[in-house]
Structure 1
Amino acid sequence: MNIKKSIVVRVRVAFLAVCLFACAIVYKVVHIQFMEGARWKKISKERRIRYQPVYATRGNIYSDNGSILATSLPFYRVAFDPTVSDAALFNAGVDSLAMLLSRFYGDKSEDYYRRKIKNARHAGRRYIRLNSEQINYQDKKMMLKWPIFRAGKNKGGVIFEKVEKRFKPFGLLAERTIGFINEDKNGAGLEYSFNNDLAGTDGEALFERIAGGNKPIYDGTEVKPQHGYDIQTTLDINLQDVAENALYKALERTNAEYGCVIMMEVKTGEIKAMANLGKTKGGYIEDYNYAVGSQGRTEPGSTFKLASMMALFEHAPQVSLTDTIDTGDGRYRIKNTTMTDAKHGGYGKLAVHEIFEKSSNIGVAKLMEQYFNGNQRAYVEYLNKFGLNSTLGFQMEGEARPYMKHPQDKNWYGTTLTSMAIGYETKLSPLQTLAFYNAVANNGVKIQPIIVKEIRKSDKVIQSFKTRVLNEKICSDETLEKLKTMLEGVVAQGTAKNIYNTDYKVAGKTGTARKVKNGRYVMEYSTSFAGYFPADNPKYSCIVIIDSPKGVNVYGGDVAAPVFKELADKAYARDLAMHKSLRARVAPNKDSMPGVAAGNQDDLAYICNKIGISNHPNGSDEEWVKVEPQRRSLNFKPNPVLINKVPDVKGMTLRDALFILGNQNLKVRVEGVGKRVQRQSLLPGTDITKNARITIELS
């Protein structure tokens, strides 16, 4: 009996405790709801509403002619506040809205969107994201005409959340030069180097945190963002395209590891093309800026011989181009190493200019020993005077620092002088080598290369960048004349004679440097060609690097020089200012009619007048004309070249045709052999589409 009573007492005590705990919970709920309700509501609102950044629109990047290289395009995610609209508007439009959403996105059924919207409205949810897919501005304009949405944000509840994407209209063209920047503010190229100007200043606004996302609250306290500035580069889209295509073909043909091309104007230092392509499993892409960065900093090889010869002529001006050096049988012992020349059996006795033209390592080494063996410090000081030990202060981040030895260094050996003289035991980036060659082309004035001309806000120039002189006179005029003669000789009868042409002169130097792997030189090469054109009045300088080409002919003249020529030919064809005057090419002949059908009106009129053929200009300002023979005279009819229209080049010379078609951004393929265009694949007057190609047939 005592046990039964004990159990009953325990049950009653437990029941009483449960009742007291339940009463305490009820009391606490009532107290929070009614006594402390206002306080907790205030805290909830403070935590739900906060200032968040409103991101500025990033500035555009333009080419030299104003073409957009990179821009920010607005995209949107569609959200909805289903509680905003009144019952009549909502009920009348929800079915149609659900149908339109289902058809537009194509991912869910009409019933799904209807239930999603109605359930949210019933639950009092003030924010739902209808779909995570981003839409463009045209889609946004279309959606604003849909039921409910057409009432706007305040009455219809539609919310378009702006998301900006970086867009490059020319695709992968100059991709690494344009560059990128990520969320962590790390990146490369112009996007990274000029981020402070492009990014602008973010604003801020109040946002309310609601289930499903954040809803903006426009209460007048928001700070508008200051959009980023635009930058105008010096890049020429047409030359950039040619540079990348020519480089890509050369890399594929030789199965090389990477390559780069830089082309700039001699007088201004403006970079007109900068192409960088590296090898991947799927081909070649712009994976790194080898033209500027440390991965492209290599031993330059024979292109460095220009600096050695400049030092020689400055140190010993009595050395003549016709002085001779016996290079022997192609093998020369220096301390404990043997230097060799490319030609089996050697070149024998060579004049100084032939040493340079044939790129004789032994010839250059013997000259250095003869004039600098007792004063190696002087040789290095000349190189430093030329600025080869210093960076250029280029506008893009990541410029590699040159590596130049000094006789006081611990790793200066008995063979270092002769090794440096032919481009080893020193390292330069392609851009630094090009700046040196450009100084020779620019009559000794070394200037800083630039790739950005202006920073702008709409039409207002915020900052402009001018050419900065790094060295007023890199060497004497006498030295310059000797160097120019040798550089022209390399193309006329030396290691780059395969790119010689009669239309314009090229001056330059080939380079082929063995590569180092695991501390030892291996039978892999970095090939190069650096130079300028036209040699008698330089307009452009250019350098081409092809790294680790495979095959039989892996020298700079065989691999890199043809890329230079393809780019130079394109630049020459589209720039009439570089062409020789026709006056020097016309011989008087009164007994024959000129076999022309089309061309430049001024040139044709001059030819006719020179050989005594009556001609009748059309009296207009048209630059290009068609020729109609009439007895013993020629009539000129206008042949206008219209923007974005395929021009009529039939009857023109190849040079004129390439000039016109190139300026219309057409990619040209030439077939046949002859002097004039007989047929063209695209009909004259039709619209030019993006990346359009045209084939012209010569006869």
Structure 2
Amino acid sequence: KMSQWPIFREGRLGGGVLFEKVEKRYRPFNSLASRTVGFINEDEYGAGIEYSFNNYLKGKDGKALFQRLAGGSWKPVFDAEDIKPEDGYDVITTLDVNIQDVAETALLRQLEARDAAFGSVIVMEVKTGKIKAIANLQKNKSGRGYGENYNFAIGDQGNTEPGSTFKLFSMLTLLEENKISLDEKIETGNGVHRFYNQVMRDAKNGGYGTLTIREAFEKSSNVAISKLVDEHFGSSPSKFMGYLEKVGLNEPFDFQLAGEGKPFFKKPGEKDWYGTSLPWISIGYESKLNPIHTLALYNAVANNGTMLKPYLVQAIVKGNTIEKEYGTEIIRKQIASEKTIKQLQELLEGVVVRGTAKNISNAEYSIAGKTGTAQKLENGQYTRKYYTSFAGYFPADRPKYSMIVVIDSPTGFAAYGGDVSAPVFKEIADKIYALDLELNPNSQAQIVSAQPNSALPFVRAGKAEEIHQIFEKLGIKASPTQPEDWVKVVANDNKIDWRINESDPNTVPDVSGLSLRDALFILENKGIRVNYQGKGLVKSQSLIPGSKLEPNTIINLELG
């Protein structure tokens, strides 16, 4: 057919076609985790995994002899000295694409709602240090929309004053030195306390008055925490700062991605150390930490005192051959005594039950964590802009995941960590909890159940390939379909019938009968925001299947 094209009518020298090999990058998950996956250009400038592991990924160029022909084309000349190119290795990460998707979606929703500058989320396995998701979104230069342009969770630009999440460290030092008991009382007065020529203030106008130390942590009283640290370490600030090395926060982790920010802390005796330094450091100012460093501290408390090095790449392979493996690495075997760790766990649970994050408490599972709100320093002055955060872990009674959420410069009323970052933590945790059968074995209800008046099991809906696997195990006949299809299922006598459950790209899909995992996959890939309640399979949906899909659509699902 090509010979009939008009371009060939001009003869051998007058027309023809040249084929050129063009390489194009394929991203199976589009922009998901794009900054973490990274890039590298021809000048070997880049970021992320691709840049950090380029020596393994790039392979080796080959060499061959070519002859230049008339017209400028090249013809290979086969030679015994030709060197064949070698493919690079494959890098296997610890990321979970479902958790990554959930994290980015929840973060983007809050950034848009609060018109914030940027935000980050890290989700990590408590017992292993495996990072399951890293999301970084920043407002585009145009001021419209958000993109993943920098890794604030890891990089130097994300190194900032942590705010009240650092109070966990201050409580660790006080408890380890046996300086306090959680039920003793401290006077915070009207929420204003002077240290030399500087004034410390609590967030609550009028102050909290007399509190127990437990209540002071739960309410995040700046005055209480700074008074306690100044009283017990004011004459020996080096002892307080020495705990940074004990817990492993004084140096970078040598993280697998290039560009990790370095923790910054003032040192007693140096020219920039003042009488006010210790009180302000105790509540998360005059110091700098990356989100990943703060998360490692909270993960250590969840892990009963063992601090692990977070890691993102678990293996480098070629085919079935493993070139290099990475695993769990302990930074500090025990950052504090067992007694102190148990008390810190109690404090973090109390923050969610009674304190500044009680808005994310729920009956399904328990969360432990701490809110953080730090005023932004610009041109040497603290402003009314805030760096908000929430760091913690869940379920609190048997921790599996730790997480940190940071959102920079949110706008609007109540721009504090408990109001801005904590709800994002809960949204992500809710979905992880619903999808993780190990945490919540009842969340998916029964995929296969007995149909009334029939001994034949049935599946309501799902992915054809997965349902086929169930049927094969049970020895049940089923009408054929393509394995990639979404299907609805009906049991008829001694066999299963099913129908294709696909929808037009511009219409609302039918997700009834699906597990929450499958429903979220279908709906969120269409850009639909999902709210849900209950447990089990989807019983009903608020939007009619087949109706026109509008921008920024929200759907409510009832599970049962």
Among 39, 53, 60, the residue aligned to 1:201: 60
The 2-side partners of 1:299 and 1:695 are apart by: 38
Offset of 1:369 from its aligned partner? 1.4
State whether structure 2 residue 301 is matched by structure 1 residue 457: no
Paired residues for 1:111-122 under 5 Å: 111=7, 114-115=9-10, 117-119=12-14
**SS of structure 1 residue aligned to 2:324:** strand
SS of the residue corresponding to residue 189 of structure 2 reads: coil
Distance change (3 Å), C-alpha of 1:187 and 1:455: same
Inter-CA distance 624–663: structure 2 relative to 1 (3 Å threshold): farther
- How far is the alpha carbon of 1:165 from its aligned partner? 2.3
User: Residue 131 of structure 2 aligns with which residue?
Assistant: 271
Note the alpha carbon deviations across 1:22-53, whole angstroms, 9 max, x for none.
xxxxxxxxxxxxxxxxxxxxxxxxxxxxxxxx
Give the aligned partner of residue 363 of structure 1. 224
Task: Tell me how far apart the structure 1 counterparts of residues 84 and 263 of structure 2 sit (CA, whole Å).
Answer: 45
Match of 1:416 in 2: 277
Which letter maps to 1:197? Y
Equivalent residue, structure 2, for 1:188: 47
Structure 1: gaps spanning 5 or more residues: 1-92, 101-109, 121-127, 132-159, 583-598, 602-622, 684-691
What's the CA shift string for 1:417-457, capped at 9, x where partnerless? Answer: 00000000100111111111111111111111111111110
Identify the residue that residue 164 of structure 1 maps to in structure 2: 23
Q: 1:580 to 1:695 in 2, by over 3 A?
A: closer
Alpha-carbon RMSD? 3.0
Match of 2:341 among 475, 480, 483: 480
Cα gap change, 1:376 to 1:253, in 2 (>3 Å): same
**Residue matched to 2:32:** 173
1:495 equivalent in structure 2? 356
Paired letter, 2:182: L
Q: Which has the higher contact order (CA 8 A, sep 6+)?
A: 2
Scaled by the length of structure 2, the TM-score of the pair is: 0.84
Q: Shift in Å at residue 663 of structure 1?
A: 7.5
What TM-score, normalized to structure 1? 0.68
Map Cα deviations across residues 490-535 of structure 1 (whole Å, 9 max, x no partner). 1111101111101111000000001111111111110000000000
Task: Give the alignment of 1:7-406 within 5 angstroms.
Answer: 97=3, 99-100=4-5, 110-111=6-7, 114-115=9-10, 117-119=12-14, 130=17, 160-210=19-69, 213-220=72-79, 221-280=81-140, 281=142, 282-316=144-178, 319-406=180-267
The equivalent residue for 2:459 is 639
Cα distance in 2 for residues equivalent to 1:351 and 1:521: 30
Q: Is the 8 A contact 1:600 1:625 kept in 2?
A: no
Cα distance, 1:462 vs structure 2: 1.2
**Max Rg structure:** 1
Match of 1:658 in 2: 516
CA apart distance, 1:168: 0.9
Q: Matches of 1:698 and 1:576 in 2, distance apart?
A: 16
Looking at structure 1, the residues matched to 396 and 187 of structure 2 have their Cα atoms a distance apart, in angstroms, of 30
SS at match of 2:25: strand
How far apart are 1:387 and its partner, in Å? 1.2
> 1:288 Cα shift?
0.4
Alpha-carbon contact 2:531-2:555 (below 8 Å) kept:
no
Render the CA deviation track for 1:397-419: whole Å, top value 9, x for unaligned: 11011101110221001100000
C-alpha distance in 1 between matches for 2:196 and 2:70: 80
* Offset, 1:167: 1.6
Going from structure 1 to structure 2, the CA distance change for 1:272 and 1:665 (only over 3 Å counts) comes to: farther
Where does residue 567 of structure 1 map in the other structure?
A: 428
Aligned to 2:217, what secondary structure does the other structure show? helix
Identical residues among aligned pairs (%): 49
Paired residue secondary structure (1:333): strand
Change (3 A) 1:655 1:571: farther
2-structure distance, mates of 1:291, 1:268: 19
How many residues were matched structurally?
507
Q: Secondary structure at the match of 1:177?
A: helix
User: Is 1:649–1:657's contact at 8 Å kept on the other side of the alignment?
Assistant: no
Relative to structure 1, the CA distance from residue 213 to residue 362 in structure 2 (aligned partners, 3 Å threshold; closer, same or farther) is farther
Aligned-residue offset at 1:117: 4.4
Structure 1 residues 695 and 555 mapped into 2: Cα distance closer, same or farther (>3 Å)? closer
Write the distance in 2 (CA, Å) between the matches of 1:117 and 1:335.
Answer: 91
471-480 vs 659-668, greater mean Cα deviation:
659-668
Q: Relative to structure 1, is the Cα distance of residues 486 and 648 closer, same or farther in structure 2, using a 3 angstrom cutoff?
A: farther
Conservation of the 8 A alpha-carbon contact between 1:207 and 1:214: no
Q: Which residue identity is paired with 1:456?
A: V
**Cα–Cα, structure 1 residues 671 and 502, in superposed 2: closer, same or farther, change >3 Å?**
closer
- Is 1:407 aligned with 2:268? yes
- Please, which moves more after superposition, 460-469 or 538-547? 460-469
Q: Residues 203-262 of structure 1, C-alpha deviation per residue, up to 9 Å, x if partnerless?
A: 111123456645142322321001011011011111111111111111111111111100
1:505 aligns with 2:400: no
- Describe the SS at the equivalent of 1:440: helix
SS in 2 for 1:226: coil
TM-aligned CA deviation for residue 162 of structure 1? 3.0
Which position in structure 2 is the counterpart of 1:545?
Answer: 406
The CA distance in 2 between the partners of 1:211 and 1:275, in whole Å, is 53
For 1:490 and 1:415, locate their aligned partners in 2 and report how far apart those are by CA, in whole Å: 27
1:545 CA drift (Å):
0.7
Opposite residue 195 of structure 1, the aligned amino acid is: N
Equivalent runs, 1:543-692 vs 2, <5 Å:
543-579=404-440, 600-601=445-446, 623-628=447-452, 637-639=457-459, 641=462, 642-643=464-465, 644-646=484-486, 657-659=515-517, 661-662=519-520, 677-679=538-540
How far apart are residue 289 of structure 1 and its match? Answer: 0.5
CA distance 1:511–1:672, change in 2 (3 Å): closer
**Distance in 1 between the 2:157 and 2:221 partners?**
28
The 1:469/1:387 distance shift into structure 2, 3 A limit, reads same
Say if 2:520 and 2:530, in contact at 8 Å, map to a contact too: no
Whether contact under 8 Å (1:574, 1:660) holds in the other structure is no
Conserved in 2, the CA contact under 8 Å of 1:248 and 1:284?
yes
Counterpart in the other structure of 1:425: 286
Q: Aligned partners of 2:515, 2:107: CA distance in 1, in Å?
A: 24
